[in-house]
Structure 1
Amino acid sequence: MVTRNRPPRPTGPRRPPHGPRTPAERRPDALFLYGMHPVVAALANPKRVITRIMATPNASARLREAGATLPMVPEEVRPRDLDRLLGGEAVHQGVAMEVAPLEPLAIDELRDRHLVVCLDQVSDPHNVGAILRSAAAFGADAVLSTARHAPAETGVLAKAASGALDMIPLVAVGNLARALDELGYNGFVRIGFDEAAETTLESAMTGERVALVLGAEGKGLRRLTREKCDRLARLPTSGPLASLNVSNAAALGLYVARRHLDTSG
């Protein structure tokens, strides 16, 4: 029997066994938006740099019907072409665009705003996209997230946001605690969501500037994040499920905050 010396098993992070699943994912320097709402919103955003548009004849007609201004003639494609590019699970509705990521907004640009949402390591792009959509619906000024343990700007996030990614700034901060300090210095009342808090969210609302602070599902707010909040508050649920999905909690929080700001301003 021959004994062979094997190299030690690697201890670092393992790579996916087959690499990225789609050609779009193999382009780290590019972002592919897809679906009617994200594409129409990106076309209407003067800050969005568009390098390529791909659409079926039917999708091109729908873009014209929506009043979209196209900066270039779309490449005519078939649905199967977009399936191969984006993956079979992408609901592209016959249209996709290659774009550059948006320029990030600096946190000091929020000093004159009134309503922001801060996410403490919320990593699911579907949740972040849904929160962006609610933020747009209730007139929020920005959504802040941590640069680490949070989703990057992707087609999946943009699709979940249904166009809100090009309407509401998504601000990635390196240190959420320092960002909350900055918001507090600029007059924001920082309200952290905690299902065990004694104060209800409506009772916690005060001031002319509000920052809603939500943590990841399961973990909730980290200790330092909690300490940076002016108040901890809960949504007064009474059913058999004591807690809500973070995107649902954000939507309800935005409704309460918007009502407070509109009646106190």
Structure 2
Amino acid sequence: MAQQEWLYGQHAISAVLSKEPERVLEIMAAKGRNDDRMNALITLARKNGISVQFCHRKTLDDKSKGEQHQGVMARAKPARVLNENDLDIILEKQNNPFFLVLDGVTDPHNLGACLRNADAAGVHAVIVPKDNSASITPVVRKVAVGAAETVPLIQVTNLSRTLKQLQHSGVWIIGTAGEATQLIYDTQLNGSIALVMGAEGKGMRRLTRETCDELVRLPMAGSVSSLNVSVASGIFLFEIVRQRT
């Protein structure tokens, strides 16, 4: 694991400063930025004894390698990677757990957007396989606009085995597939639920699909056969929220 990483984007850095300020080693801010959000971020950093260095925007452009940094970057210690043990703790704490499972989503922008959806929907954790999946990176944190710090991302060694363990804990596994006969709106979705979304263009892997208790789909009226995984996950998640509440 890398000893340090660069974070960028005001939302992402503010979230880390609020949740885990001990991780942040240094802030680099663009000269001339004097808006309220930037000032609040710098004040928070200084309250935690973190050095703030002001520099030219080109320095930030070069360090962020073309990603939108919003005039601020942070050098930080990497976050701890969460695993099956952390999932067990969440299951013990939650009476009515709600999970989003991403089977092979490799695009960091999609992962960041899914984390943002999960945060908005009140998901207790996002579960991904350790291999062949995007993980938390500066790009993911930036797209997630703070949700990467509020929603646990659990990386598991064997996804189908983890889904079976969730089933043994009373969690109903809802898989999504374009060829499913059951519509999401005709499905009972209250109680303990894990929503499984497949990879971009490929869908769920065979073992994942076979482990699901139920397969559902969205009604697609136009010529487009599928939606982006982050868009689809938002629709599915909020139908579950509607029914759970």
TM over 0.5: yes
TM-score by length of 2: 0.89
Q: Tell me what 1:56 maps to.
A: 30
Q: Tell me what 1:20 maps to.
A: none
User: Is the contact made by 1:53 and 1:75 (CA closer than 8 Å) also made in structure 2?
Assistant: yes
The 1:163–1:48 alpha-carbon spacing in structure 2 relative to 1, beyond 3 Å, is farther
Q: Tell me what 1:225 maps to.
A: 208
Describe how 1:189-228 pairs up with structure 2 within 5 A: 189-228=172-211
Q: Tell me what 1:28 maps to.
A: 2
Q: Tell me what 2:88 maps to.
A: 108
Q: Tell me what 1:69 maps to.
A: 44
Please report how far the alpha carbon of residue 206 of structure 1 lies from its aligned counterpart in structure 2 after TM superposition: 3.3
TM-score by length of 1: 0.83
Aligned residues: 235
Amino acid at match of 2:193: V
How far apart, CA to CA, are the structure 2 residues paired with 1:126 and 1:78?
Answer: 27
The 1:252–1:98 alpha-carbon spacing in structure 2 relative to 1, beyond 3 Å, is same
Q: Tell me what 1:86 maps to.
A: 64
Task: Indicate yes or no: 2:111 matched with 1:133.
Answer: no
Q: Tell me what 1:3 maps to.
A: none
How far apart, CA to CA, are the structure 1 residues paired with 2:209 and 2:28?
Answer: 45
Q: Any gaps of 5 or more consecutive residues in structure 1?
A: 1-26
Greater helix proportion? 2
- Measured on the aligned residues, the alpha-carbon RMSD in Å equals 1.9
User: Is the contact made by 1:143 and 1:170 (CA closer than 8 Å) also made in structure 2?
Assistant: yes
How far apart, CA to CA, are the structure 2 residues paired with 1:224 and 1:187?
Answer: 20
How far apart, CA to CA, are the structure 2 residues paired with 1:81 and 1:55?
Answer: 10
Higher mean alpha-carbon deviation, 219-228 vs 99-108, is at 99-108
Please report how far the alpha carbon of residue 59 of structure 1 lies from its aligned counterpart in structure 2 after TM superposition: 4.4
How far apart, CA to CA, are the structure 2 residues paired with 1:145 and 1:248?
Answer: 18
Please report how far the alpha carbon of residue 132 of structure 1 lies from its aligned counterpart in structure 2 after TM superposition: 0.3
Higher mean alpha-carbon deviation, 139-148 vs 57-66, is at 57-66
How far apart, CA to CA, are the structure 1 residues paired with 2:74 and 2:193?
Answer: 35
Please report how far the alpha carbon of residue 96 of structure 1 lies from its aligned counterpart in structure 2 after TM superposition: 0.5
User: Is the contact made by 1:47 and 1:102 (CA closer than 8 Å) also made in structure 2?
Assistant: no
The 1:68–1:169 alpha-carbon spacing in structure 2 relative to 1, beyond 3 Å, is farther
Q: Any gaps of 5 or more consecutive residues in structure 2?
A: none
How far apart, CA to CA, are the structure 2 residues paired with 1:155 and 1:138?
Answer: 23
Any idea what SS the aligned residue of 1:51 has? Answer: strand
How far apart, CA to CA, are the structure 2 residues paired with 1:227 and 1:239?
Answer: 29
Greater strand proportion? 2
- Larger gyration radius, structure 1 or structure 2: 1
User: Is the contact made by 1:177 and 1:225 (CA closer than 8 Å) also made in structure 2?
Assistant: yes
Q: 2:74 aligns with which of 68, 85, 97?
A: 97
How far apart, CA to CA, are the structure 1 residues paired with 2:97 and 2:215?
Answer: 19
Task: Indicate yes or no: 2:143 matched with 1:168.
Answer: no
The 1:132–1:58 alpha-carbon spacing in structure 2 relative to 1, beyond 3 Å, is farther
Higher mean alpha-carbon deviation, 78-87 vs 104-113, is at 104-113
